[in-house]
Amino acid sequence: MPEPERAEFLVPRESRSIANWMIVHTSTSWTSRHIIWQDGVRTTTAARALVDLASTRPNARALEDAIDEAIRSRRTAMPQIRRELERTRQRGRPGVALMSELLLDSGGESRLERRFLALVRHHKLPRPRCQVVHRSSGRFVARVDFAFDHVVVEVSGRLGHVSDRERQKDSRRRNALIQDGFEVIEFTTADVISDPDYVLRTLARSGIVAA
């Protein structure tokens, strides 16, 4: 999402004497659970901020990007977002339906990963775990895009690694996963967007089929 031109503030509904140069939002739901300190400034948690953003009725693309960026930057995770959304649902705030729909395919860190999750859901395949850290004997091996029971799936929007060092790193990472018993599959942007049948066939050959 583009950087906002001005800071926006969230205050309790009963607050008064608000300066007219501020963009201010008010809320009757206000607990310490929603507040964190960031660089000496009190701010809402990322999960709360996303729910508040949804209530302003942004377009779906803007809300998608905000969710994915919050997850990518480790400011929040899907369980926290879902919990906050459920609390919001109980209060009947606007934006709940849109956010609920977008969360169906959230959990990755990019638009390509979101497209892959949508493809999986549309064809009723089991949902993979997203952004999984794999360790072997307590040692970090890799952080993978998606993990099914025995299959690791990576979706790559890169034009390609060009340096020997980068190719070596990718190769060793893949080898370590294979040696630990995983099948490793990689799909490109063209696969996911332009040839979803290939993606589905490849997953099926690895035993990933509709329940």
Residue 102: pLDDT above 70? yes
The pLDDT value recorded for residue 91 is 65
Residue 79 has pLDDT above 60, yes or no: yes
pLDDT: is 109 or 68 the higher one?
A: 68
pLDDT given at position 38: 77
- Tell me what the pLDDT averaged over the chain comes to: 83
Q: Which residue has the tokens 């939002």?
A: 25
Domain residue ranges of the chain, discontinuous segments joined by +: 8-103, 111-205
Tens digits of per-residue pLDDT, 186-210?
999 889 999 999 999 999 999 999 9
pLDDT tens, position by position, 128-187: 999 999 998 888 989 999 999 999 999 986 555 457 787 888 889 999 999 999 999 999
Is the predicted pLDDT of residue 23 greater than 60, yes or no? no
Provide the pLDDT confidence category of residue 11 given band limits of 50, 70 and 90: low
Q: Which two tokens mark 64?
A: 């998608």
Cα distance between residue 92 and residue 76, in whole Å: 23
**HEC profile of the chain:** CCCCCCCEEEEECCCCCCCCCCEEEEECCCCHHHEEEECCEEEECHHHHHHHHHHCCCCHHHHHHHHHHHHHCCCCCHHHHHHHHHHHHHHCCCCHHHHHHHHCCCCCCCHHHHHHHHHHHHCCCCCCEEEEEEEECCEEEEEEEEECCCEEEEEECCCCCCCHHHHHHHHHHHHHHHHCCCEEEEEEHHHHHHCHHHHHHHHHHCCCCCC
What's residue 16's pLDDT? 52
pLDDT score recorded for residue 177 = 95
Which pLDDT score, from 0 to 100, does residue 59 have?
Answer: 85
Give the pLDDT confidence score for residue 151 in this predicted structure: 97
CB distance 46 to 35 below 8 Å = no
Fold of 111-205: Endonuclease; Chain A (3.40.960)
- Residue 58 is predicted with a pLDDT of 84
Closest by CA to 186, choosing from 159, 154, 161, is 154
